[in-house]
Amino acid sequence: MASSKPDLNIGLIGTGFMGKTHAFGFSTAPKVFDLPRNIVLHTVADVTQDSATQAAGALGFARATDDWRKLIADPDIDVIDITTPNALHKEMALAAIAAGKHVYCEKPLAPCASDALEMARAAEAAGVKTQVGFNYLCNPMLRLARAMIEAGELGDIRGYRGIHAEDYMADAATPFSFRHDPVGGGALADIGSHALATAEMLLGPITEVMGDCVTMIGTRPDGRGGTRAVEVDDVGRAFLRFANGAQGSVEGNWIATGRQMQHDFEIYGTKGALAFSQQRFNELHFYDGCDAPGRRGFRRIEAAPEHPPYGRFCVAPGHQIGFNDLKAIEVAGYVDAIAGDGAEPFGFCAGHRIQTLVETIQTSSRHRAWKSV
Amino acid sequence: MASSKPDLNIGLIGTGFMGKTHAFGFSTAPKVFDLPRNIVLHTVADVTQDSATQAAGALGFARATDDWRKLIADPDIDVIDITTPNALHKEMALAAIAAGKHVYCEKPLAPCASDALEMARAAEAAGVKTQVGFNYLCNPMLRLARAMIEAGELGDIRGYRGIHAEDYMADAATPFSFRHDPVGGGALADIGSHALATAEMLLGPITEVMGDCVTMIGTRPDGRGGTRAVEVDDVGRAFLRFANGAQGSVEGNWIATGRQMQHDFEIYGTKGALAFSQQRFNELHFYDGCDAPGRRGFRRIEAAPEHPPYGRFCVAPGHQIGFNDLKAIEVAGYVDAIAGDGAEPFGFCAGHRIQTLVETIQTSSRHRAWKSV
Amino acid sequence: MASSKPDLNIGLIGTGFMGKTHAFGFSTAPKVFDLPRNIVLHTVADVTQDSATQAAGALGFARATDDWRKLIADPDIDVIDITTPNALHKEMALAAIAAGKHVYCEKPLAPCASDALEMARAAEAAGVKTQVGFNYLCNPMLRLARAMIEAGELGDIRGYRGIHAEDYMADAATPFSFRHDPVGGGALADIGSHALATAEMLLGPITEVMGDCVTMIGTRPDGRGGTRAVEVDDVGRAFLRFANGAQGSVEGNWIATGRQMQHDFEIYGTKGALAFSQQRFNELHFYDGCDAPGRRGFRRIEAAPEHPPYGRFCVAPGHQIGFNDLKAIEVAGYVDAIAGDGAEPFGFCAGHRIQTLVETIQTSSRHRAWKSV
Amino acid sequence: MASSKPDLNIGLIGTGFMGKTHAFGFSTAPKVFDLPRNIVLHTVADVTQDSATQAAGALGFARATDDWRKLIADPDIDVIDITTPNALHKEMALAAIAAGKHVYCEKPLAPCASDALEMARAAEAAGVKTQVGFNYLCNPMLRLARAMIEAGELGDIRGYRGIHAEDYMADAATPFSFRHDPVGGGALADIGSHALATAEMLLGPITEVMGDCVTMIGTRPDGRGGTRAVEVDDVGRAFLRFANGAQGSVEGNWIATGRQMQHDFEIYGTKGALAFSQQRFNELHFYDGCDAPGRRGFRRIEAAPEHPPYGRFCVAPGHQIGFNDLKAIEVAGYVDAIAGDGAEPFGFCAGHRIQTLVETIQTSSRHRAWKSV
């Protein structure tokens, strides 16, 4: 039906793993949520006209271009969505902001915190709405965890253990790539950043860190028959202090053989505890210290309509949402922010914050000393 | 981009839980798969023009009507998708078949097997392609299970245990509804049918059953201040014999307090075993009897690109697909069947088969005797 | 220290798997519990004097004999403990009862219910105390489950699913043994009996059964180069009705490849549910329907001093008891019964009851018809 | 039967939680293992003659005394077993060593490493055999883990995560006790020590640590109506470097609400991985990177006779051993060491080593700097 909502024209740059995921999100969000804007997949940009045209067909965009600058310059486009390699984020985002566009940028916002800060300030000055893609945060069960903490169901929070471990770099024969670049690379930046984002979403600001970043695979094939030294961390971990008085630890690890998605946390309060694993992300385990003696134990809460916005996807409990659905939730929050007066769910300031945490931990590790954040 | 593919115009009847889920499926499938047709959400029909118009806007259909017969009569529409209450399936499907449409019908195909057979024969005679919505079957991990069985990785199959238990009827105060109707109602028909479909997908035909269908909540509120006797089963179970020589059991149960989605199975072969739970449906547990002594155990295989079509949704392992993604897989298989010469993944004949199994078990229970299928 | 308690002199017949386990139980029980008798490991009998002497040394018995009749005739011995092959239970037990001894007999009490009844009646007539070894019943977590049911924490019980599956007969090359004997053999008798004992312990009497006993491995090596036909069930299952109004199912299975100890049950009530697996027998999973909406889920209760008699073994929670500890609990209950006026925890009458259930299910399977128990 | 083995007379000091556990161990070990000595429970010492006499009766000791010095002076006693509060370990152990006795001492060996060293040196000089009670190390599944690592089944070990968390100090109302004493107290010393012992058992020596010891509950009731400041850590964690090139982390935590026995580890190698939790200590989870693609996953290995010395307790797999059985294994290893020429399984040197690790982590935390061990 002809919608009476204003259009929101999307211009997507990049059509890889994340480009596709974003396209899924834009496609699903309007079906699942009652969005205040009519999302239009306007134009997609890729390296060549051919690849862009093919992606437009596959992903449902109306137009294709091999020139991202033209896409940004197009006055019809409202939102520039950047899913290109990390090194390109800054240039593209600044150009988009300069053109007055809202900018949606896949994580990490930029290879270093100073770049991220420049981007955040530019967006703020231009008054555009921004979003960084940290999709794990959009999980209804994480929102439940935060709601429970805020409601005091765990009492005062004392302890936190967070981790994000995978094994996609466990094979020493995997060649050197942009992920190994000394600027912006490493396990802590790549996936430990997710663990940090989850930690601050749930417990609030981290105030002090002691880092330990370790390179376990010192050289990798350079893809041209030789080898190249790796300087970035394969494992990056930290001790943490939170402003709320809690303490804890966090780890990013991309050589954890056998782990596909160990984005886990445990939270210990004076009255209860929570445990979560992204490996089973439609569940949250809750220990309620107020249960009767002899009847206490971690209970497995399954995602259900009681846990918004799960019910948007399915009116019955236990059916489960998937990773791409998390992206649809992210998109919906962003579109709401664009249409309304509220704050972005996770804008460039938040992206800069994560980058700052990562770099502070890296610096702490190099200096072998605690650092304030 | 303008697609060179032929259009496939969809007409949807019904906009409830399953109507929405089908709309998600039609929306997601073309983004995830390279479909041979260009899916067009042409018209949606609902009880009133208002509700239909609202649903069209929300679900992305171009037109809306309050007259499903007009929708079926529309020569532009290729596929009639029926997600209305069960009692209406037959009339609508037969009308659609008579109009030469392909028909996609939510499960159960019909309240009784004879109706389902009439529908299946009509579709066959008309040469239209059909599909019944048994979405759990589309799970990549179930396809993996079947592939492992077919490849002999478990050896000869000896035993099967299947179950589908939920608790949405556990509260005796839940009023009488169409699900309690003596024709077509009951736990075995409603969800035990899923367990039966999974069993035959994995092990092949069931040849003999001994049923046990039990009503535990004998009366329910009639919604008008009185009560109404319930004759259908709250728990329907059966002993099974399979054509491949295996034996086993199956259970449907809608009063299993605390269970949201216990669609589980265990399969025991001469060389190995499988265990699965829809509660964690991105996992399959595999016991390989060929592992070294002292090193054997059920291993938790997580969904990954090695398990098609998971990789269509996500190029990385461990991210997980959701329930609505299963529907997108179902849609894709159906569109392929429509476009090609192959058999439907789960057409009306298959729907009739499930209905036959359900009724044979019910009859067996009434007669307190084994029955051949 | 010289104990002021009266001695209870034990005479053990049989020194295999179960003989050793009983000896562990007699050894541990007095350390863990404050028993009313001073247990003395008086004499052990085995097939040869050598093997008996060796066992006496290893197991801590003071004397050894190769003549079990002498052991029974010894006026100093108070309790005859029978852990010999099943076929010998009856003759030994009746002789012991005739000699006025208390009799402790490993399960199954006898190969057939009529023998078991004869034994039970003889014991009753003689006024001796008896015990059959069904050690899984002694688990503190099963006692917790029963206490919760009795206290109404689950509401009215509606449904039960029980199983005992292992894989020790899954290999078709495992030779024919006494366990395959048509009288008393088969999976249902051997381990399904455990599942039946647990079911009645928790829900009370079973009143009706419909059995399904299946032989999947029709011949086995006879140990002399030939083969021998197997008539007993590899899988024995049943539908159940309970006197309390509940319905359910049970399965015994010794060809469940990969399963070492799948002695599991699930219990569904109007207010809550329980789930248990002997694979993790220091846990009980409890779903409390009275938990707040959005906070419900099966909670994992870990064995702790709140769950008697766990605290006798360990004053701290979470340390866990082992299989042999279950035997010590069984011994303690039996010694209490001998010393006091109370009923035996699981005497010959109870053993006869289980045998009756097994045979009724077997008969039901042969007749392909429901049977009252 | 009269045993031809030499007697080994045990003198036990202390009859609390651990005293009882040791008595269980001495009682069970000779039944389970073929020990080279005939264990005699000779004398028990406790604070009063009454309590000692009562304990002797309950635990099976022949004599009782209220004077531990007399017990040590008794020339008939071979082994002095110390299960008294930590502060008394040193004086008693040195006295026993001076009397030429073998000494079995519950952990921690001493409140500080220097004391532990003095004790270890005294024992070595006297040529007596010693044992410190770190029972978790005796678990067959930990021995399996070590065997797998040594056999190269995981490839080169890269990473380790260890934890021991409980919640027995989570309640701020729990009064100040000896466990809060600045010398020797704190979560790291009390239970983090277990995690450190496991780490070195499996991966070999730790070479460098960075500690983080945090007091979260600053004051506790003093038991006399007032409060007392707490200086010891409620959470003590560390980054680790191992001599074998691996890196990792460890945590001790006694305020982890809801945790009874979270003694867990994960080990990541180049070819595979292991995961373990004492919460289910009859299991070890093994990821074998050599499994076929699409078939990989952590497999749950259940304790079985293939995993010595499990088979000593039970000839069938899946039956499970308990915490007290771990103590029997510890006792058996110690008796073998006393009788033979081999090294003690975990003698005073090893106990000193753990104490050194604890103190180095504590010092590192205070100095906020990495320390070599």
Q: Is the Cβ pair C316, D60 closer than 8 Å?
A: no
pLDDT in tens, chain A (373 residues): 445 799 999 999 999 989 999 999 999 999 999 999 999 999 999 999 999 999 999 898 999 999 999 999 999 999 999 999 888 999 999 999 999 999 999 999 998 999 999 999 999 999 999 999 998 999 999 999 999 999 999 999 999 999 999 999 999 999 999 999 988 899 999 999 999 999 999 999 999 999 999 999 999 999 999 999 999 999 999 999 999 999 999 999 999 999 999 999 999 999 999 999 999 999 999 999 999 999 999 999 999 999 999 999 999 999 999 999 999 999 999 999 999 977 899 999 999 999 999 999 999 999 999 999 9
Say whether both D129 and D144 belong to one domain: no
ipTM: 0.96
**Residues of chain A contacting B320 with CB distance shorter than 8 Å:** 261, 281, 320, 322-323
Q: Which of A299, A306, A307, A310 to mutate to test the interface with C (most CBs of C within 10 A)?
A: A299
Give pLDDT, residue C184: 86
Closest CA to B24 of B135, B190, B108: B135
Nearest by CB to residue C260, choosing from D56, D302, D323, is D302
Residue C79 belongs to some domain of the structure: yes
Nearest by CB to residue D295, choosing from B294, B298, B301, is B301
| Alpha helix (H) residue ranges in chain A | 17-32, 49-59, 68-73, 89-98, 113-126, 140-150, 187, 193-203, 310-313, 323-339, 348-367
Give pLDDT, residue B308: 97
Say whether both D81 and D145 belong to one domain: no
**Residues of chain A contacting B28 with CB distance shorter than 8 Å:** 24, 27-28, 324
Residue A107 belongs to some domain of the structure: yes
Query: What is the least distance, in Å, from the CA of C244 to any CA of chain A?
Result: 25
Say whether both A191 and A266 belong to one domain: yes
Say whether both B58 and B170 belong to one domain: no
Mean pLDDT of chain C: 96
Residue D193 belongs to some domain of the structure: yes
Helical axes B17-32 vs A17-32, angle rounded to 10°: 160
Give pLDDT, residue A372: 98
Residue that finishes a domain, picked among D106, D135, D164 = D135
Residue B23 belongs to some domain of the structure: yes
Q: Is the Cβ pair C270, B256 closer than 8 Å?
A: no
Average pLDDT over residues B153-172: 98
**Residues of chain A contacting D293 with CB distance shorter than 8 Å:** none
8 Å CB contact between C236 and C361? yes
**Residues of chain A contacting D247 with CB distance shorter than 8 Å:** 212, 214, 216, 235
Give pLDDT, residue A269: 98
Say whether both A205 and A288 belong to one domain: yes
Q: Does the pLDDT value for residue B284 go beyond 80?
A: yes
Q: Report pLDDT digits (tens) over C194-252.
A: 999 999 999 999 999 999 999 999 999 999 999 999 999 999 999 999 999 999 999 99
Residues of chain D with pLDDT under 50: 1-2
> Tell me, what amino acid is at B291?
D
Say whether both A71 and A202 belong to one domain: no
Say whether both A123 and A210 belong to one domain: no
Give pLDDT, residue A341: 72
Give pLDDT, residue A152: 98
Smallest CA–CA distance from B36 into chain A, residue:
A58
Regarding beta strands B272-277 and B262-269, do their DSSP bridges make them parallel or antiparallel, or are they unpaired? antiparallel
Q: Is the Cβ pair C258, B273 closer than 8 Å?
A: yes
What is the rounded CA–CA span in Å between residue B167 and residue B154?
33
What is the rounded CA–CA span in Å between residue A257 and residue A236?
16
8 Å CB contact between B159 and B267? yes
**Residues of chain D contacting A161 with CB distance shorter than 8 Å:** 251
| CA dihedral of C278, C282, C286, C291, whole degrees rounded to 10 | -160
Please name the helix (run of DSSP H) or strand (run of DSSP E) that holds residue C13, with its range, or none: strand C7-13
Give pLDDT, residue C3: 58
Nearest by CB to residue A289, choosing from D154, D257, D266, is D257
Total domain count, chain C: 2
Residue D199 belongs to some domain of the structure: yes
**Residues of chain C contacting D315 with CB distance shorter than 8 Å:** 17
**Residues of chain A contacting B166 with CB distance shorter than 8 Å:** 318
8 Å CB contact between A8 and A335? yes
Q: Report pLDDT digits (tens) over D287-318.
A: 999 999 999 999 999 999 999 999 999 999 99
Give pLDDT, residue C341: 72
Q: Which of B268, B271, B277 to mutate to test the interface with C (most CBs of C within 10 A)?
A: B268
Say whether both A164 and A301 belong to one domain: yes
Residue that finishes a domain, picked among C119, C135, C151 = C135
What is the rounded CA–CA span in Å between residue B360 and residue B355?
9
Cα A207 to chain centroid distance, Å, stands at 21
Give pLDDT, residue B341: 72
The proportion of chain B whose per-residue pLDDT surpasses 70, expressed as a percent, equals 99
What is the rounded CA–CA span in Å between residue B143 and residue B28?
20
Say whether both A45 and A179 belong to one domain: no
Residue that finishes a domain, picked among B113, B135, B157 = B135
Q: Residue D33 is part of which domain span?
A: 7-135
Q: Which of A323, A327, A331 to mutate to test the interface with B (most CBs of B within 10 A)?
A: A323
8 Å CB contact between B140 and B185? no
Report helix, strand or coil for D18: helix
**A: neighbours with 3+ CB pairs under 8 Å?**
B, C, D
Size of interface B-C (CB pairs under 8 A): 101
Say whether both A254 and A183 belong to one domain: yes
Long-range contacts of C51-55 (CB under 8 A, 24+ apart): C51/C15, C52/C15, C53/D1, C55/C15, C55/C19
8 Å CB contact between B351 and B109? yes
Q: Is the Cβ pair C64, D1 closer than 8 Å?
A: yes
8 Å CB contact between D272 and D297? no
Q: Is the Cβ pair B272, C256 closer than 8 Å?
A: no
Say whether both C289 and C152 belong to one domain: yes
Transcribe B89-147 into DSSP letters: HHHHHHHHHHTT-EEEEESSS-SSHHHHHHHHHHHHHHT--EEEE-GGGG-HHHHHHHH
Q: Which of C208, C255, C268 to mutate to test the interface with B (most CBs of B within 10 A)?
A: C268
Q: Report pLDDT digits (tens) over C66-88.
A: 999 999 999 999 999 999 988 89
Residue D33 belongs to some domain of the structure: yes
Give the domain CATH number at A154.
3.30.360.10
Give pLDDT, residue A342: 76
Q: Does the pLDDT value for residue B249 go beyond 60?
A: yes
Say whether both D155 and D93 belong to one domain: no
Smallest CA–CA distance from C302 into chain A, residue:
A297
Query: What is the least distance, in Å, from the CA of A29 to any CA of chain B?
Result: 10
Nearest by CB to residue D257, choosing from A235, A257, A268, is A268
8 Å CB contact between B43 and B60? no
Give pLDDT, residue A3: 58
Q: pTM of the full predicted structure? A: 0.97
Give pLDDT, residue B343: 85
Task: Identify the residue whose tokens are 């600045």.
Answer: D182
Give pLDDT, residue D314: 95
What is the rounded CA–CA span in Å between residue A215 and residue A228?
13
Transcribe A109-176 into DSSP letters: S-SSHHHHHHHHHHHHHHT--EEEE-GGGG-HHHHHHHHHHHTTTT-SEEEEEEEEE--TT-STTSPP
Nearest by CB to residue A297, choosing from C293, C296, C299, is C299
Distances (CA, A) of A289 to A160, A270, A286, A295, B15: 17, 8, 10, 10, 43
φ/ψ bin of A294: left (φ > 0), alpha (ψ from -120 to 50), beta (otherwise)? left
DSSP state of A298: E
Residue C364 belongs to some domain of the structure: no
Residue A15 belongs to some domain of the structure: yes
Q: Does the pLDDT value for residue B1 go beyond 60?
A: no
Q: Which of C158, C254, C298 to mutate to test the interface with B (most CBs of B within 10 A)?
A: C158
Distances (CA, A) of C271 to A297, B214, B256, C265, D4: 18, 19, 10, 17, 61
Give the domain CATH number at B122.
3.40.50.720
What is the rounded CA–CA span in Å between residue B263 and residue A283?
16
Give pLDDT, residue B108: 92
Query: What is the least distance, in Å, from the CA of B303 to any CA of chain A?
Result: 10
Q: Report pLDDT digits (tens) over C157-196.
A: 999 999 999 999 999 999 999 999 988 899 999 999 999 9
8 Å CB contact between D32 and D328? yes
Nearest by CB to residue B299, choosing from D297, D306, D307, is D297
Nearest by CB to residue C320, choosing from D59, D281, D304, is D281
Q: Is the Cβ pair A27, B28 closer than 8 Å?
A: yes
Query: What is the least distance, in Å, from the CA of B170 to any CA of chain C?
Result: 7
